[in-house]
Amino acid sequence: MKYIYLPLACLLLIFSSCKKDDNSSNSSNQIFDITGSWEMTNYTENGVNYTNSFSVYEADIAADGTAELTLEQGNSGIETSYTYILNADQTTLILTGVTEQTYNVATGGDTSPLNDYTSHSSTYSVSNFTNNTITLTLVSTTTSGLNTQVITLVKSNSGNQIFDITGFWEMTNYIENGVNNTNSFNVFDADIAADGTAELTQEIGNLGYEFSYTYTLNADQTTLILTGVTEQTYNVATGGDTSPLNDYTSHSSTYSVSNFTNNTITLTLVSTTTLGLNSQVITLGK
């Protein structure tokens, strides 16, 4: 099996940074809290998206400058410990390995000794950092074969906190039937209202789609059910409709909800009435 390079991934997890008005610098000099439990929502290595390769990708980051990263791919798990240094303006994170050990996911038993990992070190640039999300982009590493790496993490909702799903959302990652189609859309926006209705707008080239839905989010915010109401297409260049306002009530989809904060959410398809749609993972940001 292919292991994604751990040191780089960890950097993302343990990195603490500040909020930005842009993606490259902390212009507001605000300091955010990196400590706590984090989950990966998007992972790209050497230009390939491996987000769905992991069943578990979690980081526990402590205030004493240490972090623990847990990854699971199939029946193989790996636990890696690190120390980290975040510079004063929270724009650069340096991660240094300490120990590494593999285990069997099914049994929980170790499949390797506790190995020394101190020869591994990676430096990341930090962007899009808030108390709930962070993106790490690899600058340099001692790990052979790792040329590029971008990791996005969000804080886990371990305290059963209730977040606000209402508002305007934009798609940041879209995978359908195992294929990443993020860049196929020039627009993918959702406007979610408090009355249980939502409007979805998609544009691909010169073809636009507008969908209306009703939605139900369960009490512990782990399941979202979308039921179609209407659908209409339009010409992006002219804005003119290219179809009548069609009935869409035969369409219904159920999603599991993960990585949910007030600023990000990931929806993974559980079931749908849409023919040909076998799997779908959508990440949205406010």
Residue 207 vs residues 117, 199, 222, 248: alpha-carbon distances, Å: 51, 17, 33, 18
- 150 and 172 within one domain: no
- Asked if residue 130 and residue 19 are part of one domain, the reply reads yes
Residue 29 has a pLDDT of 62
In total, how many domains does the chain have? Answer: 2
Residues 39 and 143 grouped into a single domain: yes
Averaged confidence pLDDT in the chain = 87
pTM for the predicted model, two decimal places:
0.51
- Evaluate whether residue 10 is within a structural domain: yes
In a domain, 161, yes or no: no
143 and 13 in one domain?
Answer: yes
User: 248 pLDDT exceeds 80?
Assistant: yes
Please give the backbone phi and psi of residue 36, each rounded to the nearest 5 degrees, phi first.
Answer: 120, -165
pLDDT value at 9 more than 80: no
Q: 170 pLDDT band (50/70/90 cuts)?
A: very high
Q: Which of 155, 181, 211 is the last residue of a domain?
A: 155
- Interval 28-78: pLDDT, tens: 567 888 888 889 999 999 999 999 999 999 988 888 999 999 999 999 999
21 and 124 in a single domain? The answer is yes
CATH number for the domain that contains residue 229: 2.40.128.20
The pLDDT value recorded for residue 160 is: 56
Co-location of 174 and 131 in the same domain: no
Using one digit for the tens of pLDDT, what is the confidence trace for 106-118? 988 999 999 999 9
One domain for residues 202 and 278: yes
3 or 154: which leads in pLDDT: 154
Say yes or no: 183 and 280 in one domain.
yes
The pLDDT value given to residue 132: 81
Domain identity same for 132 and 178: no
Residues 127 and 259 in one domain: no
Boundary of a domain, candidates 155, 177, 201: 155
Summarize the confidence of residues 1-15 as an average pLDDT: 40
Residue 171 pLDDT class (50, 70, 90 cuts): very high
Domain boundary among the residues 155, 181, 215 is at 155
Q: Please give the share of the chain, as a percent, with pLDDT higher than 90.
A: 70
Q: Has residue 207 got a pLDDT over 50? A: yes
**Bigger pLDDT: 15 or 83?**
83
Tell me the average pLDDT across 152-168.
78
More reliable by pLDDT, 206 or 2: 206
Looking at residue 259, what is its pLDDT?
82
pLDDT of 13 > 60? The answer is no
Q: Is the per-residue pLDDT at 255 higher than 50?
A: yes
The residue segments making up the domain with residue 63 are 6-155
Domain assignment of residue 50, yes or no: yes
Whether the pLDDT of residue 16 is over 50: the answer is no
What's the pLDDT score for residue 263?
85
Nearest to 167 by CA among 91, 97, 265, 100: 265
User: What is the predicted pLDDT for the residue at 139?
Assistant: 97
